[in-house]
Homo-oligomer: A and B are copies of this chain.
């Protein structure tokens, strides 16, 4: 889509009414307040803001979206911070969507960690947004990927999605990236290692963080061993990408440039091999599905009366949840 054509579409749509229509221009210009307010509209999920968010989606699709995930204690947040600095140093703009309860950008803020981000604030080439992991309306995947759209439409070159690697929704979100980085770390307990096993397969790039530690080499060896044993990239359309295993120490600033280079390489690989098309399709399919679920959930919570007629049968156990769910869907259809 050429630039002039884009501008015309926006002007035309801006004539329509709707929440956030006045923000579209600001978002496209990278105005921090407009971006923040538009993301809040995505979180609030009001029907009146749908036209503006549809317009945002229309303008998105240019950024390289990178999912960063790892188990609690793997040093994700420090690495994300380091990577953001490296991206800035390369002259590009970076957006961060943090939906990790252990992140200093989101829930971790209760620990006072947010102060560690100050070195990145005041730079309008960086935008950081933390998303609530447990909203009343659910819809974590939908709203955080709409936040990615907003940053994308605002022209950020790279967008980092940080999530903890536990929980289906969290894993779904990070998989809605073009490049998935899975972070492992030395010295974590057995229970954490078991959780880790579940996310290794979604990686395009593996990172072992905290490589200043003496036990880091064992972790790298273990990881390479697991990969040889058959844990492979689950993401489709990867062509013949050779999955790198990188050692980093975000605290010492080591390996971060190498990670950025690997991310850029993967982006280039997707484009050159044409695999990006399949990846984009998968992401869109997932988003439609998550949004459909969201619509149902909202319909349901907004109008419990739809279910109230069914509750008696359920409580008496004359009707099971499956039958009730079918009837609920039927009631939604008739609206």
Contact = CB atoms under 8 A, between A and B. Distances in A.
B293 A297 contact: yes
Interface string A51-88: 00110011111000000000111000000000000000
A120 interface: no
Interface in A144-185: 145, 164, 166-171
Contacts of A252: none
Interface stretch (A90-98, A121-129, A282-290): A282-290
A170 B168 CA distance: 8
A270 to B, nearest CB: 15
B322 A54 contact: yes
Interface stretch (A28-36, A254-262, A311-319): A311-319
A302 to B, nearest CB: 12
Contacts of A197: 101, 107, 110
26 contacts: A101-B166, A101-B194, A101-B195, A101-B198, A102-B191, A107-B197, A111-B190, A134-B171, A140-B168, A145-B321, A166-B166, A284-B314, A284-B324, A288-B300, A288-B314, A289-B296, A289-B300, A291-B322, A291-B324, A291-B325, A292-B296, A292-B328, A292-B329, A293-B293, A295-B325, A295-B326
